[in-house]
Amino acid sequence: MAVFALYVQSSTFASPVLASVLRFAQATVAQQHQVDHIFFYQDAVQAISAHTDLPADEPDLAASLITFCEQQHIPLLYCVTAAEKRGLSSSKVQARAGFIAAGLAEFAMRLDTVDQVVQF
Amino acid sequence: MKKIAVVLQHSPFNSALSREAQDMIMALAAVEHQVTVIYQDAAVLQLLAPKDDASIGCKDFIPAQKLFDLYDIAAVVANRSAFAKYQITSDQTIIPVSQLSDVEIADLLAEQQHVLRF
């Protein structure tokens, strides 16, 4: 069994990155490996917005990811500094329920116990 | 502690990518990982001090690379062909950088436990 960290930095709006992350996480768990956490940095912190209003015919991939990660007890972490700079997190703006504020230091420390980092 | 390479591939000021990459480098080094920084392609431009930093329009994070030494970054290397492509000489860079061939960089990457690309 291998322990994976999924590191996401691509724009979640401009690319289908959340679908790729979800598929990879599902495949990892299905093959009896472990996802230690999923970490959002750079423009990928868009995913945490609680105010995204998608048209009815577009899939809410962040919701799918939250549901899967809650079932599997996989922490969905985001860099709070990157989110604050982009106006996605503050004392007045809450992140979407299911995402957990973290720092780069926490991500860095978690890498100690991870076999593979997969970057999206 | 893991051996982690951070591969930089982009010019410094066109986006937040390179600036936030530097924050990641510092965070990784601060928790005692053995970090190797590799400058490839246009990222070698990050090694030059801006001539007029008032006109960049964003934070000048270039001087902070001098902290790599303080943070005990294990190695700072650059792709030799990128230096040639951008006509940069070793006396122009704000920090000392070892110039390596593509093959040497491939060998260095093969030694790492994790690789992050920016």
Q: Tell me, what CATH number does B108's domain have?
A: 3.40.1260.10
CB–CB contact A117 B116 (8 Å): yes
Percent of chain A with pLDDT over 90: 91
Residue B16 lies in a domain: yes
Q: Is B54 among the domain residues?
A: no
Task: List the domain range (segments joined by +) for residue B109.
Answer: 3-47+60-117
Q: What does the pLDDT look like over B4-54, one tens digit per residue?
A: 999 999 999 988 999 999 999 999 999 999 999 999 999 999 999 887 766
Rounded to an integer, the average pLDDT of A106-116 is: 97
Type of residue numbered A103? G
In a domain, B53, yes or no: no
Number of domains in chain B: 1
Share of chain A above pLDDT 70, in %: 100
Please answer whether residues A108 and B28 qualify as being in contact, where contact means their C-beta atoms are separated by less than 8 angstroms: yes
Q: How many CB pairs under 8 A join A and B?
A: 44
E-state strands within A72-115? 76-79, 100-102
Radius of gyration of chain B (CA): 13
Q: Do A108 and B28 touch (CB under 8 A)?
A: yes
Name the pLDDT band for B1 (thresholds 50, 70, 90). very high
Q: Which stretches of chain B sit within 8 Å of chain A by CB?
A: 1-2, 4, 16-17, 20, 23-24, 26-28, 30-31, 33, 114-118
Contact across the interface for B31 and A105, Cβ inside 8 Å = yes
With contacts defined as CB-CB under 8 Å, which chain A residues touch B17? Answer: 42
Instruction: Decide if B55 is inside a domain.
Output: no
* Cβ separation A104–B24 shorter than 8 A: yes
Would the CA dihedral through A64, A70, A73, A79 be positive or negative? Answer: positive
Half-sphere exposure of B6 (CA within 13 A, CB side): 28
In a domain, B64, yes or no: yes
| Domains of chain A as residue ranges with CATH | 3-119 (3.40.1260.10)
Mean pLDDT, rounded, for A61-89: 97
- pLDDT at position B19: 94
Instruction: With respect to residue B71, please indicate whether it lies within any of the assigned structural domains.
Output: yes
User: CA Rg, chain A, in Å?
Assistant: 14
* Residue B8 placed within a domain: yes
- pLDDT, tens digit (0-9, with 9 covering 90-100), for B50-81: 877 667 788 899 999 999 999 999 999 999 99
Q: Beta strand A116-119 with A3-8: parallel, antiparallel or unpaired?
A: parallel
| pLDDT for position B54 | 67
Helix-strand-coil percent breakdown of chain A, rounded to 5? 40, 20, 40
pLDDT for B51 = 76
How long is chain A?
Answer: 120
Rounded distance between C-alpha atoms, residue B3 and residue A13, angstroms:
32
Picking from B27, B115, B118, the nearest residue to A105 by CB comes out as B27
| pLDDT, average across residues A23-29 | 98
Q: Quote the minimal CA–CA distance from B80 to chain A in Å.
A: 26
Distance from CA of B28 to the nearest CA of A (A): 5
Above 0.85 for ipTM, yes or no? yes
The pLDDT of residue B53 is 66
Q: Is A24 a residue whose pLDDT tops 80?
A: yes
Would the pLDDT of A114 be above 90?
yes
β A76-79/B98-100 pair status? unpaired
pLDDT for res A13 = 83
Q: Which residues is A101 bridged to in the sheet? A: A78
Nearest residue, CB atoms, B31 vs list A41, A82, A109: A109
Is the Cβ pair B20, A105 closer than 8 Å? no
Rounded to a whole number, what is the distance in Å from the CA of B91 to chain A's nearest CA? 32
